[in-house]
Amino acid sequence: MSLKIYNTLTNEKELFVPIHPGKVGIYLCGPTVYKESHIGHAVGPVIFDAFKRFLCYKGFKVMLIVNITDVDDKIIDQAAAENCNVRELAERITRQYLDAMAQLGVTGIDQMPKASEHIPDIINLIERLINKGSAYVSGGDVYFDVMRFESYGKLSNRKMEDQTGRREVLGQGKRHPNDFALWKSAKPTEPAEVGFDSPWGRGRPGWHIECSAMSMKYLGDTFDIHGGGMDLIFPHHENEIAQSECCTGKNFAKYWMHNGLTRFNTKKVSKSDPEMQRAMEKMTLSHLLNTYGGEMLRFFILSTHYRRPIEFSDTEMESKQKSLNGFYRLFDRLERLTSHSPYDEKQPTLHKPQVEIYPEKHHAFIQDILVMRNEYLDMLDDDFNTAGAIGTLFKYSNSINRFLDQNQAETIQDETVRFLALSAARSLVEDARVLGLFVEKPPKTSDHAPDHLREDLIGLLVRLRADAKKDKNFALADRIRNELSTLGISLVDHPGGTQWTFADR
């Protein structure tokens, strides 16, 4: 089966045919770095990282670009509020964002261009637009002239007439209310570090132009897929299309993929919504990664189809955590049985030609697994249905556990059964890795163990030893004292009880 994806431009599921056979260029709109990133900012990168892995699995050579918008009004405002340097703020937030991406296993981004480092490209693009008559200078500002782009509104299905109903406000020096800034002149109150020299005086780029400049720089005038959150369709992506296509005279992106927005209490998670601000603490990436870990968050995001809204809540996170643990337990079970880990790439997966080498009574199980592999990949081919694909991963897990139970794998030493199950689990892991799941074995020790755990455990042993002494089981009592001693903990009995100390104290 071949890949179909839903294209916002046509409002249809389309067969995916890359512009250049075998190669795919993807541009995803990244964050504006002015406040700590929240769960919503992880959705796009996780989905597109997983999508890239899937495309690579299918044999495409993929270039994935995610931008960082580090020149923007909001960064200036926030820096002023925090009384810090604009560049420093942007860099700090960017570092946090990159750290979160690493924890989420987002490894597929080839370039993360920053707006501030592409000012010449942006200026060049604006100049071309002015020369073509699609943009005009007004004071120190430059505006895009939407009347010059016939198909303005083709992405968001908006008609020009509809627009004027709500906001009649004709911006300072704008010819049409929908005209948007390509270049904004510097204001006297703004800090010096946010200004750049341009043919129109000192200033900085408008919001949409950096994405046009950077996407075309890295992927060419026309590229395969442009992605982002659904809230960007208008005006951001609409404006990107307008300015890019006016400039080059060519189609901009062939497919537009928009992910659903994350909600909390049915409302969109947003940095700028004051009501959301109060709940934001538990939705920042740093908090979520600390409490749940990267794989769990990734699993959570991919458990919903990308075009749907994700309903975030702690109870749902906990529910998902439990289901994810089921996979870990299965992997542990196989490791106990075979002394090999399903994470180990040297262990074989299940393949069709292998069927005959196993006894006939196991053929049904093998068939089962092979069917699931196909089902899994079919799901991903159908508009990248990761939710459905993860559903089949659960079926895999159930099937393997059942096979082990039925063959009493723990009590009957049947290496065929055990290693067949291991191979099946290896297939599961390999399939999951197409989405970037189960790439690495999670650490066994809990990072969240409280500091007092060590003391509590010693206390427990001391109490058990007291019970042993009461039962006159002095052999056990002495053993506990001796073994603790070799661990550097001395136990000293007093009439009132037992006192323990670390030997080095």
Partner RNA sequence: GGCGACGUGCCCGAGUGGACUAAGGGAGCGGUUUGCAAAACCGUGAUUCGCCGGUUCGAAUCCGGCCGUCGCCUCCA
Nearest alpha carbon to residue 366 among 326, 316, 400: 400
Q: Is the peptide bond before 235 cis (omega within 30 degrees of 0)?
A: yes
Here's the x/- map for RNA, 265-284, by CB under 7 A: it reads as -xxxxxxx------------
Amino acid letter at 486? T
Q: Which stretch binds RNA (CB under 7 A): 87-95, 163-171, 248-256, 445-453?
A: 163-171
Q: At what angle are helices 363-381 and 415-433 packed, to 10 degrees?
A: 0
Which C-beta is closer to RNA: that of 13 or that of 20? Answer: 13
For 440-502, give the secondary structure using H, E and C.
CCCCCCCCCCCCCHHHHHHHHHHHHHHHHHHCCCHHHHHHHHHHHHHCCEEEEEECCEEEEEE
* Residue 387 binds RNA (CB under 7 A): yes
Judged by beta carbon, residue 217 or residue 268, the one nearer RNA is 268
Applying CB under 7 A, which of residues 185, 397, 407, 427 lies at the interface with RNA? 397
- Interface with RNA in residues 25-54 (CB under 7 A): 29-32, 40-41, 43-44
Interface stretch with RNA, choices 80-88, 319-327, 452-460, 491-499 (CB under 7 A): 319-327
Q: Say which amino acid occupies 503.
A: A
Near RNA in 199-238, by CB under 7 A:
207, 228-236
Count interface residues toward RNA (CB under 7 A): 76
Tokens of 169: 């406000």
Least Å distance between CB 93 and RNA?
10
Q: Which stretch binds RNA (CB under 7 A): 84-92, 287-295, 308-316, 428-436?
A: 308-316
Largest CA distance in the chain: 98
Q: CB of residue 503 vs RNA: minimum separation in angstroms?
A: 33
Comparing CB distances to RNA, the nearer of 24 and 324 is 324
Q: In the range 174-193, which residues lie near RNA by CB under 7 A?
A: 180
Q: How many CA atoms lie within 13 A of 38 on its CB side?
A: 22
Residue 183: its H or E element: strand 180-185
> Based on CB atoms, which residue is closest to RNA, 6 or 218?
6
> Looking at beta carbons only, is 426 or 481 nearer to RNA?
426
Contact status: 162 vs RNA (CB under 7 A): yes
Rounded Cα distance between 441 and 424, Å, is 17
Query: Shortest approach of RNA to residue 123 CB, angstroms?
Result: 20
CA distances from 493 to 112, 300, 480, 484 (A): 63, 52, 13, 14
Q: Is 78 in the site for RNA (CB under 7 A)?
A: no
